[in-house]
A and B are shown apart, each in its own frame.
Chain A
């Protein structure tokens, strides 16, 4: 379904672009003809598919890292303690900074390799995850927790298990939503300074004014994003059905 949605959107975009090209009589240099794009996507798919897979793998790793860190920080900050309030305030303040503005600092310290791409991918999806997890973990589920509280059994792990289970739908939605953000983060990092991935391919083609390569890259980015989103959503459904069965 996600793949179909992507194909419909991509083809609609292409249709609009080609309509503009032929109605306005724009040159092939400005907007390449459709056959050129089709040739790139079909015959030279390897030039785009492998960088796109590379980008997706970094995005997946960054996404997992962000989920783990956001969950851990939200777990520690779920109480009303000073530390918790400090983390909450820091999270709200830090998310106001665009990651693109922080990215140059990351590249200065970590170089243009994997570490920078991973960190930027994580950063871009970390704050939405953290804010959602903070909200979920700090909101008591009184009707379930009451018994454990009354009998002195409400330890941190029980509390976490209850709040996670009771908010499973929200968690699945926010994790799936942040998956696309991780992809965006990785591409942004590659576009800015990295030497690998589909974002790097786009940057090179931008210098050559090669729109056909950019459009072919967009096709493979969409393809990989859709596949990853599908995988995350399917994993969420499996987890949910197993827990509720």
Chain B
């Protein structure tokens, strides 16, 4: 599996300058990758370009070996007229019922599975939404702040589980949390602050590719976080 962005340029029609200009980068193989950047740096736009929801002004995005690519984001909602359980059972891909059951337990959905979506807390909503994507037939999942409202211990446990359970799938995880990005990612693609001509290159930092905070040295994590934050603030501080 390989995603290659070649000479990618994009600007919003209502924007006064380009967001990306001649951007090149590639993501190869399965694993956990992240996009990191300050608010408004263009992470979600880049995700939507890769997901095909937006079309670049010029350049191209090749997705070799991606048969089923999905994009999920944190404000998504389940249909309000059915319970979470009814919805999940309806949308699970055939043959993945056991996986669904496992995810319901692992993601802590069991206690509110019979509730309707509107009755859930923000964190519960995020988890229920992510579960339904994980029981689809996919080889690439772009997850745009999908755990934004989930508490940190649960988030760490969910990310560790996803990495162990889906080692061959490609995840592009978008987050504002430098700590989890540093810990879990194989590679971190940092979007610097855009100049007047937009972003023309990403800063690629190798992550710790770990399965949780307990197995890594805090000082190494701290250094990595600092490196990521410095890269994201280029042109800002």
Contacts and interface: CB of A to CB of B under 8 A. Distances in A.
Contact of A144 (B72, B79, B116): B79
Given A244-B116, A244-B118, A143 B80 contact: no
Interface stretch (A12-20, A97-105, A159-167, A208-216): A159-167
Given A144-B76, A151-B91, A161 B81 contact: yes
Contacts of A144: 76-80
B138 to A, nearest CB: 9
Interface in A214-245: 243-245
B161 interface: no
B66 to A, nearest CB: 13
Chain A interface residue bracket vs B: 10 to 19
A143 B79 CA distance: 10
B149 to A, nearest CB: 14
A161 to B, nearest CB: 7
Interface in A143-185: 143-144, 146-147, 150-151, 153, 161-162, 165-166
B117 to A, nearest CB: 9
A166 B35 CA distance: 32
A15 B78 CA distance: 55
Q: Which of A144, A147, A153, A243 has the most CB of B within 10 A?
A: A147
Nearest to B116: A244
Interface string B51-81: 0000000000000000000111101111111
A146 B136 contact: no
- Going nearest first, the 9 A-B pairs with the smallest beta carbon separation are A243-B81, A143-B77, A144-B77, A150-B70, A165-B81, A143-B76, A143-B75, A151-B136, A146-B76
30 contacts: A143-B77, A144-B77, A144-B78, A144-B79, A144-B80, A146-B72, A146-B73, A147-B72, A147-B76, A147-B78, A147-B129, A147-B132, A147-B133, A150-B70, A150-B71, A150-B72, A151-B91, A151-B136, A153-B91, A161-B79, A161-B81, A162-B79, A165-B79, A165-B80, A165-B81, A166-B80, A243-B81, A244-B116, A244-B118, A245-B116
Interface in B184-237: none
Nearest to A146: B76
B82 to A, nearest CB: 9
Contacts of B133: 147
A146 B79 CA distance: 11
Contacts of B116: 244-245
Interface string A21-52: 00000000000000000000000000000000
Contacts of A151: 70, 91, 136
Contacts of B71: 150
Contacts of B77: 143-144
Chain B interface residue bracket vs A: 10 to 19
Nearest to A165: B81
Interface of A: 143-144, 146-147, 150-151, 153, 161-162, 165-166, 243-245
A151 B51 CA distance: 12
Q: Which of B81, B116, B136 has the most CB of A within 10 A?
A: B81
Given A165-B79, A244-B118, 8 more contacts: A143-B76, A146-B72, A146-B73, A150-B70, A151-B136, A153-B91, A166-B80, A243-B81
A151 B93 CA distance: 10
A165 B75 CA distance: 18
Contacts of B79: 144, 161-162, 165
A185 B77 CA distance: 41
A202 B118 CA distance: 51
A146 B78 CA distance: 10
Interface in B66-123: 70-73, 75-81, 91, 116, 118
Contacts of A150: 70-72
Given A147-B72, A150-B71, A243 B132 contact: no
A138 to B, nearest CB: 19
A151 B77 CA distance: 15
Contacts of A166: 80
A166 B118 CA distance: 12
Contacts of B75: 143
Q: Which of A144, A146, A150, A161 has the most CB of B within 10 A?
A: A150
